[in-house]
Amino acid sequence: RGPIAGQKCAQIVEGADPHTWKDNFLCLPPNTPYKLQWSSAGPVKDKECIQWLEAADPHTWKDNYLCADKLSGPAMKAARPAWPGDFKWSFAGVPAGYSCARILELAEPAPHTWHDNFFCWKNDKADPGMRWSMAGPLPGHKCVNTEEKADPHTWQDNFICVPDNSPYDLKWSSAGPIKGLECIQWLEAADPHTWKDNYLCHTALTPVAPVHLASVSYTMVYGGYSWGYKTNIVLGGGFVGTTTYDTQAKALTACYGNTKCLGVSYTPEDKKYRLNAAVTEVSHPNGKHWLKKGTSYTYYGRVWSHKTGYQVTGAKAATTKYTDLKTALAACASSDDCNAVNKHSTTELYLMKGTTVEAKSGMACYLQGDTVAQYGGYSYTSLSGMTYGGWLSSTEYTTYTLGLKACSSNSKCTGVTKLSTGKYRLNSGSTVTSNTKYTLYPRGGLSSSVYYYNYDNKVFAAHSPYAMTGKIDGVTYTTRATALDKCVQYEKCIGFTQSAYNKYYLNSATTMTKTAGNIAHVMHETALVSSGYMWQQYTGKALTGTATTTTYTTFALAAKACSSNSACKGVTYVSAKKYQLNSSVTTQTKSGQIGWAKRGATTSYKSYYWTAHNGFKGQEYVSTTSYSSLNAAQVKCLATSTCGGVTKNGAKYYLNKYHSLSSNSGTSVYIKGGEVTTPITVYLSYGGYTWKMKSHWHFKTKLTTTKYTTRNAALLACTKNAKCMGISYEAAKEYYLGSGTAYGSLKYRKMFIKYGTMSTYGGYTWTYKKDYTLDGGYLATTAYTTKALGMTACKSKSTCKGVILKGGKYYMGKGDSFSSSSGYTTYKKTSTVKKLKDHYWSVYSGYTLSGDIKSYTTLTLAITACASSTTCHGVTTHSSKVHKTHTGYTPSTGSGKTTYIKGSTYSSSYSTRYASHVYMVYQPYVLATAYGSKITTRAAAFKACEADKDCNGFTRYGAGNFKLCKKATKTLTVGAAAYIRSGTSIISGGRLWGLYEGYTLTGYADTTKYASEAKAMTACTSSSTCKGITKEAAANYRINTGYSPSEKSTMECFIMGSSVATSNSYYWTTKSSYEFDTVGTTKYTTLANAKTACVKAGASKCMGVTMHGSTEYYLGSVRTIHPNSDYTIYILGGPEVSVTTVDISYADYAWTKKKKVPIATLR
């Protein structure tokens, strides 16, 4: 209805709206400091504007704004209006000299003339904050219902309201004045519904003029949010719930965890804190409030309030477009005109003059706050010319850092005041007072942060300021390195707490509590360093979110792609040859999958890991000394026991004292991690198995608690236990059997994985696994008909990793690991091997061993010495004349060197015939109870034993050194060979059989009863499990699986020996897949020629013949033999014996083979 007379009015008009907007005005009292300006075409340049939006109105209401110059005062000094004298009711418009609240009910018919009714107060009084509502009570206000029950026009939801902190306590009456109160009549004579007896009442009240208190404001950080703190002002407009809090910390904690809470107010009358649901500022002497401005972001020494989905309105501080956030924030912090930054996109940012924000989808803004620092997990804002009332103590600190350090560790400290240069005191009060000589650093809330570093190939996450629960050993460690070493080796330890800057406690629980000055170092799974980053491994889990649809065939390729993709937060192994990039580090359980979260950028320097984190600085520096390069600072840090890393600030580098950090987005830190431990993998042959040894790893699960004091004892126990998957070396003389396939990385540990059954061929060990293939598949499509042909082809190709058997054919395979696959059998090429002095030796070029014992001039001398020593585990060739023996068995890199790692002894056995007996030969063993003089040749030893009834065999101790033995008990002795005299020898079916009369064998190889000795022997030779035969009765022969005879007077047994043949009047034992330790150089083209030459050379010089191929034969010059799948040997036995049968007749019987047969049966 046009402007109000006597008031300053701005026309509110939308030209495109046909609904009578031309006579609408917004009016203020004539003495108002506000100069309102309306725009129906967007914000007014250089003004602060508020959008008037009604989305449901189609008439272009999206670009309408009410604007004015930015105004933060002046403060109101006038008294509030007195009741009732300064208030007035008007039913005929706004009376002169008054400001009013319009009293309107739109449901009233026009003839009732409610459009010109007002409740008013004098212009020279302060605004009492009265507001009218015809839609229920207003939030944050004290409201009284003005219902007139006789009026049918919806007066039940009409209210007159004042702010919560108002001194007015209004009462309503629709039936005359209230007795004892001062009442003002509300009269509308045109309304027929009994409006002549309605009154608004209150006790007589004359509020005093408020004493104006300057409001102090600053920005503080608490709980990850920035808070606008102001004194002498509270927030009005409603509360979140009815709960009150007795401390600032409790209230702020409740607020930052509640999305409805927009701030916190403190009222001195009841000394309580309340959560606010609105942000209207209301003057309140000695009150104060904390406005939740946005998530906090610290950069360039200032705290910035970050609000996503909002923009700052008004004019730009400069026209420059910035292409990255940090450059824009730095420019704003350096500009006198800039108060905020608007972020349109990651590459489009502008500096803004204003601070008023409005919702804007797709945008973000950063409001500039005060200068801020962090110490002990607390934030400290800098306020010049201010201090807190009240001192905590009289102690003065000489530096800013010492003051913050003391305050952070004292729960009663509220801040630090700088009195003058070199003088700082702690505060206990919270009321800000002016003092131009001082600078106040009020303590804010505990600000959480986390950084990561690598120690012993474990990811450690350092959470500040937190402490962990569950102390496990009661020890206080004084260095982080000691705590780390103890924790990674302690099974129950899952991390440690750093307290008081240089005290450390091991913990067994991951529960963390916020504790000032503490850092919780939580130990996580395995850390991998690849493509310049540290990757935290999650076994059996996958990361969520997809960064790209591209997948990769190896982790290395995936990590490389992820490291250069800012959207990529990690990698997940999904299945064979499928690695996926992820956009989140959140995990979900996925059996068979492995996730790797991308943590800090990590490099190695001077054999240590250094993990970089932007937005941090050292809480303290070792000294004020700066360095011009990172490497120079790192070298000095490694030489300084108190240094925990390096801070980069501009072009300078500083040493961090200990490991406490503060958030500071303008700097970067390089956290010193652990030593670079490069795991080395080698293969060992022991007990018929291949063992995959990995340094700095161990089995996570022990099979038993039994502790073994030597590696070999543990390996031997593992070979005998089907559930054992390998062994772990935990400490000196501590080995344990391992269970399962879960492995952990630990410095100084070693693990030996039982990789598979071992065999040798072509100078390599081959690990056998049934129902497995290689993960790389076939190297080529060529099929081989025998294993030997496949291995021969594979051993000459470096790209061939093994031989795969499928469907009766052998194929060369590729890939470094076994992969389960039914129907396949794989022989994986694992290591180069030598068989010397009764041992397997795994050979590795470019490596050396630790623990020198002695140096030898030849490899043979060194190998011989090591083979005979229980403490020697290997030999390293340094040069042609330097060969060292070692106690260590974990190789380390050694350029130009070759290491021979000693495995288990290999044992061989065969049978040979001399005179009428079978001799079982066992290498490397000695027999018990040696006696008599030394015998110099094997032939002489045979003869002597045959002639001595007490002889059960003899031992060859070395060349030209034999002795007879009374007992057949064997003992392992490197370099020796035991010859046990067994039963009477019989040759049948190309095999040597030892006859034991009055004995039987155990175990049946089948259920058949054979009618003759020859048939039983033929069946036994063809059976893979048969070891001999027993004649149980006439025409009843059984084939047996046992080979240890036991007494049975009515039976006789035959133990099957080696393949044997006669040639050149000697017995020759045939043994496949073996060779003599030493052979001659003369090559013979036929076996017959080689045997003839061997017999001619004599038994003292030739021990047999080695077949290297179908046309290559060499004479063996030593008795010792070793396994080799490429060769077959023919061992020279005793002279062929001619058997003469003599029948003796006595007492009407014919006697043969010590058994009597009736003469009548021989006719």
Q: How far is CA 836 from the centre of its chain?
A: 44
Confidence of residue 602 (pLDDT cuts 50, 70, 90): very high
Locate 724 and state its tokens: 């054992």
H, E, C per residue of 684-740: EEECCEEEEEEEEEEEEEECCCCCECCHHHHHHHHHCCCCCCEEEEEECCEEEEEEE
- CA distances for 786 relative to 791, 793, 799, 941, 976, angstroms: 9, 11, 20, 42, 35
- CA distances for 5 relative to 30, 117, 1018, angstroms: 10, 15, 132
- Asked if residue 14 lies in contact with residue 59, where contact means CB atoms within 8 angstroms, the answer is yes
Token pair 């039914």 is found at 822
Token pair 């161990």 is found at 698
Q: What are phi and psi of 547, to 5 degrees?
A: -80, -30
Torsion of CA 1156, 1158, 1162, 1163, to 10 degrees: 160
Residue partners of 1085: CB distance under 8 A and separation at least 6? 1111, 1112, 1113
Confidence of residue 169 (pLDDT cuts 50, 70, 90): confident
DSSP state of 189: T
> Which residue(s) pair with 844 in the sheet?
899
Alpha-carbon torsion (934, 936, 938, 940), positive or negative: negative
Give CA–CA dist 1065/1095, Å, rounded: 9
Q: What is the mean pLDDT of residues 250-260?
A: 89
Question: Per residue in 189-212, pLDDT tens?
Answer: 899 998 899 999 999 887 755 544
**DSSP labels, 958-1016:** ETTEEEEES---EEE-TT-EEEEEEEEEEEETTEEEEEEEEEE---BSSS--BSSHHHH
Is pLDDT above 60 for 36? Answer: yes
- Asked if residue 868 lies in contact with residue 887, where contact means CB atoms within 8 angstroms, the answer is no
Confidence of residue 77 (pLDDT cuts 50, 70, 90): low
Query: pLDDT value at position 761?
Result: 79
Q: Burial, 1049: exposed, middle or buried (Cβ in 10 Å; 0-12, 13-18, 19+)?
A: exposed
Question: Per residue in 605-646, pLDDT tens?
Answer: 999 999 999 888 888 899 999 999 999 999 999 999 899 999
- Asked if residue 29 lies in contact with residue 2, where contact means CB atoms within 8 angstroms, the answer is no
Confidence of residue 157 (pLDDT cuts 50, 70, 90): very high
Is pLDDT above 60 for 931? Answer: yes
Strands 802-806 and 734-761: unpaired
Is pLDDT above 90 for 1150? Answer: no
Query: pLDDT value at position 1154?
Result: 44
Query: pLDDT value at position 661?
Result: 85
Query: pLDDT value at position 1155?
Result: 43
Confidence of residue 1072 (pLDDT cuts 50, 70, 90): confident
Q: Burial, 153: exposed, middle or buried (Cβ in 10 Å; 0-12, 13-18, 19+)?
A: middle
> Which residue(s) pair with 89 in the sheet?
119
Alpha-carbon torsion (959, 963, 967, 971), positive or negative: negative
Question: Per residue in 756-771, pLDDT tens?
Answer: 888 887 788 889 999 9
Q: Burial, 1111: exposed, middle or buried (Cβ in 10 Å; 0-12, 13-18, 19+)?
A: exposed
Question: Per residue in 1117-1145, pLDDT tens?
Answer: 877 787 777 789 998 988 876 554 455 55
Q: What is the mean pLDDT of residues 899-922?
A: 85
**DSSP labels, 863-911:** HHHHHT-SS--EEEEEETTEEEEES----EEEEEEEEEEEEEE--EEEE
- Asked if residue 776 lies in contact with residue 814, where contact means CB atoms within 8 angstroms, the answer is yes
The overall average pLDDT reported for the chain is 88
Give CA–CA dist 525/542, Å, rounded: 14
DSSP state of 214: P
Locate 544 and state its tokens: 């969520």
Q: Which is nearest to 229 in space by CA: 273, 167, 170, 194?
A: 273
Give CA–CA dist 1112/1129, Å, rounded: 12
Q: Which is nearest to 842 in space by CA: 974, 681, 718?
A: 681
Strands laid side by side in the 48-51 sheet? 37-39, 65-68, 48-51
- Asked if residue 137 lies in contact with residue 112, where contact means CB atoms within 8 angstroms, the answer is no
Q: At residue 1085, what is the residue type?
A: T
Q: Which is nearest to 314 in space by CA: 28, 663, 679, 68?
A: 68
Is pLDDT above 50 for 282? Answer: yes
In the Cβ-directed half-sphere of 449, how many Cα atoms lie within 13 Å? 29
Give CA–CA dist 807/813, Å, rounded: 15
Locate 722 and state its tokens: 């089907």
Query: pLDDT value at position 748?
Result: 80
Neighbours of 1062 (CB within 10 A): 14
Q: What percent of the chain lies above the pLDDT cut of 90?
A: 49
- Asked if residue 890 lies in contact with residue 850, where contact means CB atoms within 8 angstroms, the answer is yes
- Asked if residue 887 lies in contact with residue 732, where contact means CB atoms within 8 angstroms, the answer is no
Alpha-carbon torsion (238, 241, 243, 247), positive or negative: negative
Q: What is the mean pLDDT of residues 373-387?
A: 83
Q: How far is CA 1092 from the centre of its chain?
A: 69
- Asked if residue 945 lies in contact with residue 966, where contact means CB atoms within 8 angstroms, the answer is no
Query: pLDDT value at position 1146?
Result: 59
Q: How many helices (H) and strands (E) does the chain have?
A: 12, 78
Q: Which is nearest to 964 in space by CA: 921, 995, 927, 1014?
A: 927
Instruction: Quote the strand ranges of 208-279, DSSP E.
Output: 217-222, 225-236, 239-245, 263-267, 272-276
Q: Burial, 965: exposed, middle or buried (Cβ in 10 Å; 0-12, 13-18, 19+)?
A: buried
Q: Which is nearest to 787 in space by CA: 798, 795, 779?
A: 795
Locate 177 and state its tokens: 């004045």
Is pLDDT above 60 for 884? Answer: yes
Q: What is the mean pLDDT of residues 107-115?
A: 91
In the Cβ-directed half-sphere of 381, how many Cα atoms lie within 13 Å? 26
H, E, C per residue of 554-623: CHHHHHHHHHCCCCCCEEEEEECCEEEEECCCCEEEEEEEEEEEEEEEEEEECCEEEEEEEEEEECCEEE
Q: Which is nearest to 900 in space by CA: 881, 873, 874, 870?
A: 874
Confidence of residue 362 (pLDDT cuts 50, 70, 90): very high
Q: What percent of the chain lies above the pLDDT cut of 70?
A: 96
Q: What are phi and psi of 146, to 5 degrees?
A: -105, 40
- Based on C-alpha coordinates, what's the Rg of the chain? 48
Coil vs helix vs strand at 26: strand
